[in-house]
Structure 1
Amino acid sequence: MRYAIFSDVHANLRAWEEALSDIRAQRVDVLVCLGDAVGYGPKPEEVLSGIRAVTKNFIIGNHEAAAAGMIDYSVFNDNAKHSTEWTKQALTAESHEFLKTAPIAIDTQDILFVHAEILEPGRFDYIDDQKKALENFTGSKHFVTFVGHTHHPKIFQLKGKRSVSEMPDQNQQLNPSCRYIINVGSVGEPRNAEDLRGVYVIYDSETLKVDFRRVAFDIEAYRAELESTTLNIKPFFLQCHDHQTAEAQLAPPFSEALSPAMEAPLISVSTLSQDAETVSLEVPSDTRKFRNSAVGKRSSVARKAVGLSLISVIVLGLLTWGVMHYIGSQVPDDSLVHSDDISTAKAEPTPPRDLSDPIPDTPQAIPAPPITKTDAPIVHDPKPNPTAIIPPPEPDPKPIVDIPPETDPTVAWWRMEPDSIGEKLIDSKNKSSLPMLAPGKTIGAIAPSALPPHDITNTAAMSLGVWVEPSPTGKFALRADRSFTCEGWFLVAKTRKAVFLAGTRSGDANDKQGWHIDIRPNGQMCFFYDNGPQIIQALSEKLPITDLKPHHFAAVWNHDASAGAGEMQLYLDGVKVKTAKVPHIKIPPTQANPFRIGAPKNPSKVALDEV
């Protein structure tokens, strides 16, 4: 059977119509929507109605749950709250009732369909790396599970019980001796800044082939529809489109590291109602519904020719498939990238829900467990936060402290605008201004001009320049009881010496305890920690970063990544490039050195922005 599986249309009617046209041309048997048909976009009712007109297989996403009043969205960020309130008004009463009865998952034999995660679907967590994938494989025995939510298409493959690999988001032949979690991407809110087409998947359960379909849509028409509403938001792909077409002093391609502007924090007060359920797949009584559509029709002569051809090749085709299928199951996938620590990965203590049992004809309600509070650091980069309940711009779940919606977790934000630089580098939050140690030079902006997630205009960056805390305050220390993220944008040319970006350890004679982020001459990037007697590094492989093009960095310290240890996580352009564990017993309780941005020994061709 051929399935068309799509997700995260997000009220983008232009993208949905183009995707549906492409689906009809693929001669599929069943369509499955993985949720988030609404939210952020200008046409929620039209998109939802259009999807319901062609399939009964619809799973509720977190945006539908919020719009239908099934989860508390009071802690969403301003964009997300604004979008949810607007969407609630735009949907009809009948649509509201439909969403309240939509299932949380769809099960059919060896395939599971769910919006976000397998372990606790109502929590809407992210499956965005190999460790999370391994945890979720334990929650199901299905051969393949299709998910959405992150907007990033990808495939996770499980060999044996613990070996998880990430495969490219391109057409693949699945191995029947393995298991898979496949993210189908987003039709209406693409997150790849280099490719603004919507994405969905065709899966053939007989040949085990997966086809990632990419479909362009009219972005300017979408803009016009958005501007005709009172929605005051600008989707990530629209920001990318404008950035790519603008004539700027520096016009580098956006990277996936740019965080989409509409990410919402974790909802820690409620989850889906106890009526959320898993149901069986609905197969149309006439499975030729899309095979016989106008797009797929052929002339009578062509149909006769196809029939005669099928008779002559069917046996050969079956034999060929059987041989290839056998070979595929025997040959290891050496090209896959394996996780460094997957052999020691452990699932969270929460007992996984087993969704693999057959579903009876009369679906039984499977209540979603209460949402888990987590304490993950807030990452304002393209990689979505696994614990966030609303996807869009982007950045591991552990039970964390609730942050009231009015609380700003930002410790400091140095914008590098001309009016913020003088004898001090002025912090836009008025919390942590840094005295100048060496003057810098103002250049054109490195970060995008409408900076997510605040939509603030950015006009300048700073070349060279050094700013240092007057004395250690402790607020920038790497500690065993607190997480943090240090992020920003940099630009650097090829260099013969290391480049210091920011941190509390500069490497000077009397300054060798603390952490910092640096770039090595060979193109490696490092999140560096020195506790005095020992050095621990999250040191990346060689990266194409000394190219005088803007790049986004994020150094994340997750203080409770595991029992008795924290984890340093280094991101470049939204991709996690390296991690390193630091035992809590090796972390001094105080900050020895002042925090600084830049260093006197930095080469001349280096610039920073929006730190």
Structure 2
Amino acid sequence: MKIAFFSDIHANLLAFEAMLKDLDGQRPDAAYCLGDLVGYHIYPNEVIEEIRRRSIATLKGNHDKKVESITTTPESLKEKGSNYAYHLITEDNRNYLKELPTLINLAFTFGEATFKIALAHGSTRRIDEYILIDTDENYVLELLDEADADILIVGHSHKPYHRTIETKSGVFKHVINLGSVGKPKDGDLRGCYALLTIDNNNSLLRRNSININFRRIVYDVEASAKDIEESPLPAEFAVAIRSGK
């Protein structure tokens, strides 16, 4: 079974469209979005509406949650600054973001093997917590145990990685960070998402058994940056996607 996971689009429509084109070509059996559809760019409604049109199961990210504390008025759309990105969101799409869950748990069984997967934007404890490649191993195992999961998939840091941790019982647990579709921070300007393939050939008893493929997607970074520069958003947002930091 091939499953697509992506996160942190941040209203970057050109990056999102390029990712979807690649994703459609990969023909996954299922797809999940781990949040942060909005913020930093001017196309939140277009991104949300495509997610909704495709009925993609989606988590709430910290930027999606931020919408709950921002009141939009006709006057606010004339304001400059980072909050302009949130004022653009329609009332219907605001309600959609408010209703998103913060955790999703999945289980896939193949023969006698069951793979339990926990999805969270930041961590299973906090929507804005960073789970990095070097986060304390014991702490990560605590999160996995609390979630009753073998595989933890997160976003938020915008830096992709696949980390394998061996438990005292000889079972291998996995942590996967998806990177970012619309605002990478690992120095690579290309958008990123991940394909996880699990079937009878996978085992939690073998270190390298889980097959994760990070897909890096080329899109028109300069056109996307210019869209920001021609809006009331801070120019530093354009600098960020041009630098990948």
Q: TM-score, normalised by structure 2?
A: 0.81
**2:89 counterpart of 1:82:** no
Structure (1/2) with the larger helix percentage? 2
CA deviation vs aligned residue, 1:484-503 (integer Å, no higher than 9, x gap)? xxxxxxxxxxxxxxxxxxxx
User: For residue 205 of structure 1, what is the aligned residue in structure 2?
Assistant: 198
User: For residue 96 of structure 1, what is the aligned residue in structure 2?
Assistant: 94
- Equivalent residue runs for 1:102-501 within 5 Å: 102-109=100-107, 110-118=116-124, 120-122=125-127, 124-140=128-144, 141-161=148-168, 177-193=171-187, 195-206=188-199, 207=201, 208-235=210-237, 236-240=239-243, 260=245
Structure 1 distance, partners of 2:168, 2:85, is 43
SS at match of 1:121: coil
Structure 2 distance, partners of 1:103, 1:37, is 14
Paired residues of 1:202 and 1:212 also in contact (CA < 8 A): yes
**2:31 counterpart of 1:31:** yes
Paired residues of 2:222 and 2:242 also in contact (CA < 8 A): no
SS at match of 2:216: strand
Paired residues of 1:130 and 1:156 also in contact (CA < 8 A): no
Structure 2 distance, partners of 1:47, 1:221, is 17
Q: 1:129 offset after TM fit, Å?
A: 4.1
Paired residues of 1:68 and 1:88 also in contact (CA < 8 A): no
CA deviation vs aligned residue, 1:21-54 (integer Å, no higher than 9, x gap)? 0000111011100011111012111111112222
Counterpart of 1:87 in structure 2: which amino acid? A
CA deviation vs aligned residue, 1:128-180 (integer Å, no higher than 9, x gap)? 14343431321223111110000000122110249xxxxxxxxxxxxx94111
User: For residue 46 of structure 2, what is the aligned residue in structure 1?
Assistant: 46
Structure 2 distance, partners of 1:130, 1:228, is 38
Paired residues of 1:198 and 1:215 also in contact (CA < 8 A): yes
Paired residues of 2:163 and 2:175 also in contact (CA < 8 A): yes
SS at match of 2:9: coil
Structure 2 distance, partners of 1:133, 1:127, is 10
Counterpart of 1:45 in structure 2: which amino acid? N
User: For residue 270 of structure 1, what is the aligned residue in structure 2?
Assistant: none
CA deviation vs aligned residue, 1:82-134 (integer Å, no higher than 9, x gap)? 32x2123100101111111100011112011110112x134x11111434343
| Structure 1 pair 161–40 and aligned structure 2 pair: CA distance change class (3 A) | farther
Paired residues of 2:33 and 2:57 also in contact (CA < 8 A): yes
Counterpart of 1:209 in structure 2: which amino acid? N
Counterpart of 2:157 in structure 1: which amino acid? T
Paired residues of 1:128 and 1:150 also in contact (CA < 8 A): yes
Structure 1 distance, partners of 2:168, 2:133, is 17
User: For residue 65 of structure 1, what is the aligned residue in structure 2?
Assistant: 65
TM-align CA RMSD: 2.1
Structure 1 distance, partners of 2:213, 2:61, is 23
Structure 1 distance, partners of 2:168, 2:49, is 42
**2:22 counterpart of 1:22:** yes
Paired residues of 1:111 and 1:142 also in contact (CA < 8 A): yes
The number of residue pairs the alignment matches comes to 215
Paired residues of 2:39 and 2:63 also in contact (CA < 8 A): yes
Counterpart of 1:192 in structure 2: which amino acid? D
| Structure 1 pair 98–132 and aligned structure 2 pair: CA distance change class (3 A) | farther
Q: 1:219 offset after TM fit, Å?
A: 1.0
SS at match of 2:236: coil
Query: Which gives a bigger RCO, structure 1 or 2 (Cα 8 Å, sep 6+)?
Result: 2
| Structure 1 pair 180–230 and aligned structure 2 pair: CA distance change class (3 A) | same
Structure 2 distance, partners of 1:116, 1:133, is 16
| Structure 1 pair 25–64 and aligned structure 2 pair: CA distance change class (3 A) | same
CA deviation vs aligned residue, 1:411-443 (integer Å, no higher than 9, x gap)? xxxxxxxxxxxxxxxxxxxxxxxxxxxxxxxxx
Paired residues of 1:157 and 1:178 also in contact (CA < 8 A): yes
User: For residue 459 of structure 1, what is the aligned residue in structure 2?
Assistant: none
Structure 2 distance, partners of 1:3, 1:24, is 12
Structure 2 distance, partners of 1:2, 1:220, is 32
Paired residues of 1:67 and 1:87 also in contact (CA < 8 A): no
Structure 1 distance, partners of 2:137, 2:95, is 33
Larger radius of gyration: 1
Structure 2 distance, partners of 1:224, 1:132, is 40
Structure 2 distance, partners of 1:161, 1:61, is 33
Paired residues of 1:133 and 1:181 also in contact (CA < 8 A): no
Structure 2 distance, partners of 1:62, 1:132, is 23
Paired residues of 2:183 and 2:241 also in contact (CA < 8 A): no
